[in-house]
Structure 1
Amino acid sequence: MKKTMIALMVGCLVAVLGACESQNVDQQAQKLENNELAGTWVLKSILLGDMIDLPCGIPNEGKFEPITLELTTTRDETGAVLLLNGRSSVNQYSGSYALESYDETTKTGKLKMSPIGSTKMGGSPELMQCESRYFLLLGQAVDYQLSTINGKQQLELGVLSTQKSVAPIGGKGNFLIFEKQSK
């Protein structure tokens, strides 16, 4: 009888703690939605280790349209659903992600990406290669950092190198650097 009662109390404690953690991430998502993370972001550069590369874009009448990422939040019966969509160098894409943590002081956090789906249009080999690299880096993203540089909001999304983790290539990390688009 005592063992059954202890097992029941432990089960209830685990359920309560799990609900608190889920609610905490949901609250963090709501804070970010109302503040800095939600919105349309434009890819400005890509950091691979210690090398910065410029992104390619979509050719449009002799000009290149930027690669974009739009982050939104919606709600369903399970709580906040964090969605992403945008335009790559050739195709439109969409997916979702989950926030695992966020530190308001450092404006850094952890996230988990869902698989990314896209339209299936073809382009030049160069643009298709660019798109493949973009989707690879976006899909591998586990870290993010928000900052303001020269008065513009910036989002670094990828695998940021820290004391605890080392990025797969180079020392600084592998990440996509976005700038928030003005409304």
Structure 2
Amino acid sequence: MIKLISMLSVVMLVSASCNKNEVTPTDELNNATQIKNTRANFEKLSGKWIFKEYLKDKTVPANSEATIEFSKGESSDILIVNGRSFVNLYSTSFTYNEAQSSIQIAAPIGMTKMAGTPEQMKAERDFHSNLQNVKKFAVEGNTLKLYVGEPATEVMFFNQ
């Protein structure tokens, strides 16, 4: 009986600790207000990232890929951005605003003009719209989170 009670106690303790680590979408969006993007973090963006999902329920087309690749620009406050947005290739640049600890698109998004399925084209429009409104980011290991809006209303997740 004592072994059974001990075992149940351990199971309940493990179960309770797992639930505490679960981050809700609201928590994730609220976390964006605490992010302080430093110049060192800005430099961590370099490289190619593959889009995985949105925080909120947005359809991502099957058998399509979106990417974002950052490379150094002419100054330490600019990153050149290139990638694929499900159908088309795109390019733009992000600037770093040290005073506001934020980033933003510095140039209109240029892209090729290929056509895809209606689902792919909608996903591409959503992807570009969100990119144009990115204000904060976080790099956690090999995961990049781009926070859309101020305050954040969406998060775009990428893996390296």
Same fold (TM over 0.5): yes
Map of 1:178 onto structure 2: 158
1:56 matched to 2:61:
yes
- What corresponds to 1:87 in structure 2? 84
Matched, 1:110 2:95: no
Higher strand share: 1
- Residue 124 of structure 1 and its aligned partner are, at CA, apart by 1.2
Q: How many Å separate the matches in 2 of 1:158 and 1:120?
A: 27
Q: How does 1:1-183 map to 2 (within 5 A)?
A: 28=39, 32-33=42-43, 36-48=44-56, 51=57, 53=58, 55-56=60-61, 64-75=63-74, 79-80=75-76, 81-101=78-98, 109-114=101-106, 115-148=108-141, 153-159=142-148, 166-167=151-152, 173-180=153-160
* Offset from partner CA, 1:115-146 (integer Å, 9 cap, x none): 21111111111110010000001111111111
Q: Is the 8 A contact 1:43 1:55 kept in 2?
A: no
Distance, in Å, in 1 between the alignment partners of 2:60 and 2:82 is: 17
Task: Give the Cα separation in 1 of the matches to 2:59 and 2:140.
Answer: 19
Alignment length, in residue pairs? 122
Amino acid at match of 2:113: K
Query: What are the ranges of 5 or more consecutive residues in structure 2 without an aligned counterpart?
Result: 1-36
Q: SS in structure 1 opposite 2:115? A: coil
CA RMSD of aligned residues (A): 2.7
TM-score (norm 2): 0.66
CA distance in structure 1 between the aligned counterparts of 2:42 and 2:130, rounded to whole angstroms = 22
**TM-score with structure 1 length normalisation?**
0.58
Identity over aligned pairs, percent: 30
Q: Distance in 2 between matches of 1:65 and 1:127?
A: 8
SS in 2 for 1:127: helix
Corresponding residue SS for 1:142: strand
Cα deviation, 1:13-65, whole Å, max 9, x if unaligned, reads xxxxxxxxxxxx9x926x743xx2100000011123xx4x46326xxxxxx25
Q: Note if contact 2:59-2:123 (Cα within 8 Å) is conserved in structure 1.
A: no
